[in-house]
Homo-oligomer: A and B are copies of this chain.
């Protein structure tokens, strides 16, 4: 017998793979999937282009993995914001705010996840992503209805309106090229976000705060 994968090798391979995914993520965050050419990723990760194909069957597969990783992260953030105690309305407001702030911090990534055209395998991931958000918001709206602080309505459709209002307002206008035209101050008192949140909550509850 002549060769068997050793632990050291396993780790080294994992490290390379990790570097590739990290660089892909960075490329996408910078300029969307359009911007993430295999050659560029390879250069950035300091490997040969062929190496990428040793770790992934195709660019599409690589992208799908990145997409999954990114969306899990985002959805978790929003889920976290929804978790703490409070009435449904408060919690929804918190979640929307988190969603909006995340989008403002990384508008290009947000746009890529929400709206950039992608290959079929990635589109499949996107469906799951949309569903995850819709489920989160829907659940909260439903709880609000039970609690009586939100009037009865089609929860799924409302949830979609929420995502639409926020994402279009924040990432739609400055979608592809023109980044950095929005004041991305880390502090969460961005008046734009406030306006959007108010619109959403009113759309949901039909009452002015």
Contacts and interface: CB of A to CB of B under 8 A. Distances in A.
Interface residues of A, number: 41
A205 B168 CA distance: 20
B151 A208 contact: yes
A192 interface: yes
A1 B56 CA distance: 68
Chain A binding surface SS class: helix
A105 B158 CA distance: 21
Given A123-B177, A165-B164, A158 B208 contact: no
A160 B165 CA distance: 8
21 contacts: A34-B117, A114-B172, A123-B176, A123-B177, A153-B195, A153-B198, A154-B195, A157-B169, A157-B192, A158-B195, A160-B169, A161-B195, A161-B196, A164-B168, A164-B169, A165-B168, A202-B202, A202-B203, A202-B206, A203-B203, A207-B207
Given A130-B173, A158-B199, 7 more contacts: A115-B115, A123-B177, A160-B169, A160-B172, A161-B169, A164-B168, A202-B206
